[in-house]
Amino acid sequence: MNNTLREPADEAAALARLEQLGTARNTTAVAERAELLRVLGRLDEALAMAEESYRLAFFTGDREFVVSTRLSRARVLHDRGTLARALTEVSACRQSARTEGWGELEATSLYQQASILVDLTRYAEAQTALTDLIELKTAQRAPHEQLTALSAALEMVMRRILVEPSPEASASQGDPGAV
């Protein structure tokens, strides 16, 4: 799954920070440990930490933190290749963030959603997610560089729409009765 929407990682910095965290058990440390393990490609450990982080966040009653930990879990699921479940998680997070007015979480959800959709070769849906993200980031007065990067990602997706057929289009091409 080669996805140009994936974020680059600094493995040395991730290892150093993981060592700094040690065995700290507070909700923030567990959530950060899950993300660091994901970055390092230790996905089984990352999923266990993401699950624990979600449980801890749930018990705090902080709904925004719960959504944030669900997004972390979705990133791990995405990296593990469990794309359908990751997409379900991200979609729920996006809806919660939108409903509550948590703009940064909504933006993060949209970006993740677009990335997963690209991996699923559902380019038209990825295009819609990126368009929505650009509109949201524009309304949030994001820096020009960020909007430019998102526009480049959108252009990449639009090129893929032209070059690579979607799974639905491929299926209908094989069916002589399809319209």
Domains, the chain: 19-122 (1.25.40)
Q: Rounded CA gap, 34 and 73, in Å? A: 8
Residues in the chain: 179
Reference 128, options 138, 117, 120; nearest CA is 117
> Mean pLDDT throughout 127-133?
97
Residue 74 scores a pLDDT above 50:
yes
Residue 150: other Cβ atoms inside 10 A: 23
Task: Name which residue leads in pLDDT, 5 or 121.
Answer: 121
Q: Rounded CA gap, 158 and 95, in Å? A: 25
Alpha helix segments (H runs only) across the chain: 11-21, 27-39, 43-60, 63-80, 83-100, 103-119, 123-139, 144-163, 167-173
Render pLDDT for 76-129 as a digit per residue (tens, 0 to 9).
999 999 999 999 999 999 999 999 999 999 999 999 999 999 999 999 999 999
Residue 150 scores a pLDDT above 80:
yes
> Mean pLDDT throughout 149-171?
82
Q: Rounded CA gap, 133 and 58, in Å? A: 27
Residue 133 scores a pLDDT above 50:
yes
The pTM of this model reads 0.84
Residue 169 scores a pLDDT above 70:
no
Residue 15 scores a pLDDT above 60:
yes
